[in-house]
């Protein structure tokens, strides 16, 4: 048996270039994808269901003479550079110039990934059978997984290669059948070998004749000993290290496997950082700004106020929905399979209910059904991928509708802070789209005028609208405008809301004392902010991507110095809006913004003013608008 590297001939077939599709898929967020794919594979291979799987990521430096077949690999990289240099392919030249520099170093930065309490990669002794070893090491687009298991496309194996500057990995395993195996894989490009043949671009280290594994441990990391424990080791040679790699992988583990870690199914060690149920409180707080979704979901998992709903979903099996209603939550639902791996965050549930929720597909059949419509990155449900597209669309819509209804029901039952003048709510429409305010003579016929008239009857001596305004998406279709929901082919949803402001019987607003000023007659003037009535208010979304809104407002009185106060309107409480910038529409004049306030001067009563502003908030939402001004 001859041991070494073998790059098979392409037999006059196609050339493989540097932009290999599987690797390119994961380049955008290589460290996040790496943590996600590795942890997913390890969870799928769990040995003892009563104990957690442990996954370790450890950066090491490997002496070049400890790399199996080092000189042959060095020669292959140099041949790649020469072959594509002759063809003037700049991208390949740049990549392999760097690769040759890395392989020529005496100590090569690498990453060892090891898992424990797994069955290892079984099937290393089987040729051309679909086994875990064959699927990971020597297959393309092949997966042996089913049911609730994570992978289904077989492209996740490319994620580690996207983190290697020389695109070379070594796999080593000790499986449950007590079989030990090691094999190297180098996914390079086509090049001309010493015999003048053009290679396929993929090379294997092991038995050269059959490209099979060796029944030995790798020996790459001299400081590591598996001690006969089953599991798998992956070595990424030429690891692309930068200053953020640890933090990105920690955030990925928190965002992608929060439920697995919390349920004690998974422990992740990233060098000196251990992420387990015991350490979650500290780590989730430390990374709450960068893992903000996970931070919200952690509140759901740990709060005694969370509500748990279990149901059989359309006969496919059990699902579990955990919901927490509390201020300042992000209004999203974590969608996860039974393994605890996150698929995506469901949005567009409600623009006013402050909540976070976790949905777990617990049944085997329901896991299988929705897994069949997952994208290759396992971060979306795409019904067209399912064998039964029509049913997949229907089931997805039904599940989203169920989630929405449950949360709305809980939100309605817990909306204790909302007050509505008796009899008013039934006369107010849920959704009205009015893109521009008409002239003053037509105001009396608008919805705002109706609100104003009712306000006059209810609020003694105050003839102002409270300015509770619904935002409308100008890019939404007629179905959203009419019902607040999209068809089952779409995913966005919206909900009409009634005005939620409380009546005010005071004669003024909130006053803030300012320094005394003198007029021309040397008389002292004391100014304070008071709320100014508005004849009408309209606010709507003009740019979905940048979250730019347009506000049209007509003041009841003259305002020499004042500001517009904008709040996100919630069913339980209002939240101060964060305004990034504002300006008068159709003008380059920028307006000062601070803490939800847009400062505007010299407003004349009964005239229309249009203000464009950018909101630092991801979701579309309802808002409350109030106008304040200086008075003497």
- 502 pLDDT more than 70: no
In terms of DSSP H, where are the helices of 269-332?
280-286, 292-302
Domain shared by 569 and 497, yes or no: yes
Domain shared by 77 and 218, yes or no: yes
Q: What are 15-47's pLDDT values in tens digits?
A: 999 988 888 888 878 999 999 999 999 999 999
Pairing state of beta strands 623-631 and 559-568?
antiparallel
Q: What are 255-312's pLDDT values in tens digits?
A: 999 999 999 999 999 999 999 999 999 999 999 999 999 999 999 999 999 999 999 9
Where is the domain boundary, 414, 443, 473? 414
Q: Is residue 271 part of a domain?
A: no
Residue 469: band (very low, low, confident or very high) from pLDDT cuts 50, 70, 90: very low
Length of the chain: 632
Domain that holds residue 47: 3-9+23-241
Domain shared by 410 and 457, yes or no: no
Q: Could you tell me if 195 and 214 are in contact, meaning their C-beta atoms sit under 8 angstroms apart?
A: no
Where is the domain boundary, 386, 414, 442? 414
Question: Which stretches does DSSP call E strand in 157-242?
Answer: 164-174, 180-187, 202-207, 231-239
Q: Burial letters for 314-340: b for 16+ Cβ neighbours within 10 Å, e otherwise?
A: bebbbbbbbbbbbeebbbbbbbbbbbb
Domain shared by 483 and 619, yes or no: yes
Higher per-residue confidence, 78 vs 445: 78
Domain shared by 452 and 307, yes or no: no
Domain shared by 409 and 439, yes or no: no
Domain shared by 451 and 338, yes or no: no
Residue 87: band (very low, low, confident or very high) from pLDDT cuts 50, 70, 90: very high
How much is the CA Rg of the chain, to the nearest whole Å? 31
pLDDT at 128: 81
The SS3 call for residue 513 is coil
Average pLDDT over residues 360-382: 91
Q: Is residue 259 part of a domain?
A: no
Domain shared by 480 and 526, yes or no: yes
pLDDT at 378: 82
- 208 pLDDT more than 90: yes
Q: Is residue 186 part of a domain?
A: yes
Domain shared by 531 and 586, yes or no: yes
Q: Is residue 547 part of a domain?
A: yes
pLDDT at 230: 97
Read off the CATH number of the domain in which 371 is found.
3.30.230
Flag whether the pTM goes above 0.75.
Answer: no
- Structural domain tally of the chain? 3
- 229 pLDDT more than 50: yes
Nearest in space to 292 (alpha carbons), one of 341, 242, 345: 345
Of all residues in the chain, what percent carry a pLDDT higher than 70?
Answer: 78
- 515 pLDDT more than 80: no
Domain shared by 490 and 587, yes or no: yes
Residue 537: band (very low, low, confident or very high) from pLDDT cuts 50, 70, 90: confident
Read off the CATH number of the domain in which 120 is found.
3.30.565
Q: What are 586-628's pLDDT values in tens digits?
A: 777 788 988 789 998 888 888 888 999 888 776 667 788 888 8
pLDDT at 193: 95
Residue 112: band (very low, low, confident or very high) from pLDDT cuts 50, 70, 90: very high
């Amino acid at each position: 048996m001859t041991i070494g590297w073998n790059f098979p001939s392409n037999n006059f077939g196609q050339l493989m270039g540097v932009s290999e599709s599987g690797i390119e898929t994961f380049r955008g967020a290589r460290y996040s994808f790496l943590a996600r794919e590795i942890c997913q594979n390890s969870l799928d291979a769990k040995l003892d269901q009563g104990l957690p799987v442990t996954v370790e990521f450890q950066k090491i430096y490997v002496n070049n003479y400890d790399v199996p077949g080092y000189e042959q690999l060095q020669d292959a990289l140099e041949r790649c550079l020469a072959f594509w240099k002759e063809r003037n392919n700049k991208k390949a030249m740049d990549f392999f110039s760097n690769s040759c520099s890395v392989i020529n170093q005496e100590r090569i930065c690498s990453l060892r990934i090891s898992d424990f309490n797994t069955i290892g990669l079984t099937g290393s002794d089987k040729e051309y059978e679909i086994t875990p070893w064959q699927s990971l090491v020597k297959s393309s687009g092949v997966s042996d997984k089913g049911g609730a298991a994570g992978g289904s496309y077989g492209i996740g194996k490319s994620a580690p290669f996207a983190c290697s500057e020389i695109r070379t990995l070594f796999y080593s395993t000790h499986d449950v059948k007590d079989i030990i195996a090691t094999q190297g894989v180098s996914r390079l490009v086509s090049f001309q070998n010493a015999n003048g043949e053009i290679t396929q671009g993929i090379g294997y280290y092991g038995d050269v004749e059959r490209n099979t594994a060796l029944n030995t441990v790798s020996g790459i990391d001299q400081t590591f000993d598996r001690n006969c424990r089953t599991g798998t080791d992956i070595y990424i040679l030429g690891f692309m290290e930068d200053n953020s790699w640890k933090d990105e992988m920690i955030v990925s583990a928190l965002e992608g496997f929060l439920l697995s870690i919390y349920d004690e199914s998974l422990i992740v060690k990233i060098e000196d950082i251990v992420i387990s149920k015991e350490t979650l409180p500290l780590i989730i707080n430390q990374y709450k700004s960068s893992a903000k979704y996970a931070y919200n979901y952690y509140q759901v998992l740990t709060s005694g106020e969370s509500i748990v709903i279990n149901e059989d979903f359309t006969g496919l099996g059990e699902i579990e929905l955990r919901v927490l209603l509390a201020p300042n939550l992000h209004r999203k639902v974590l969608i996860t399979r039974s393994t605890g791996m996150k698929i995506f965050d469901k949005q567009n549930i409600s623009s006013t209910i402050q909540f976070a929720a976790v949905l777990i597909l617990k049944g085997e059949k329901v896991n299988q059904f929705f897994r069949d419509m997952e994208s290759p990155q396992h971060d979306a449900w795409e019904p067209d991928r399912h064998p039964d597209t029509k049913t997949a669309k229907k089931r997805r819509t039904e599940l989203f509708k169920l989630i929405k209804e449950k949360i709305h029901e809980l939100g309605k039952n817990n909306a204790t802070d909302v007050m509505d003048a008796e009899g008013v709510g039934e006369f107010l429409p849920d959704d009205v789209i009015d893109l521009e305010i008409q002239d003053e003579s037509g105001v009396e016929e608008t919805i705002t005028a109706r609100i104003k008239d009712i306000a006059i009857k209810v609020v003694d001596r105050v003839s102002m609208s409270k300015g509770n305004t619904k935002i409308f998406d100008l890019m939404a279709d007629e179905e959203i405008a009419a019902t607040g929901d999209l068809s089952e082919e779409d995913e966005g949803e919206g909900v009409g809301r009634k005005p939620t402001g409380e009546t005010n019987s005071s004669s003024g607003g909130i006053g803030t004392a300012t320094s005394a000023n003198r007029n021309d007659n040397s008389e002292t003037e004391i100014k304070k902010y008071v709320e100014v009535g508005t004849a009408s208010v309209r606010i709507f979304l003009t740019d979905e991507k940048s979250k730019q809104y347009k506000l049209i407002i007509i003041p009841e009185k003259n305002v020499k110095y004042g500001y517009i106060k904008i709040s996100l309107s919630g069913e339980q409480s209002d939240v101060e809006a964060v305004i990034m910038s504002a300006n008068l529409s159709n003008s380059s004049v920028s307006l000062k913004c601070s803490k939800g306030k847009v400062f505007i001067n010299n407003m004349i009563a009964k005239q229309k003013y249009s203000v464009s502003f950018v909101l630092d908030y991801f979701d579309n939402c309802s808002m409350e608008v109030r106008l304040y001004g200086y008075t003497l």
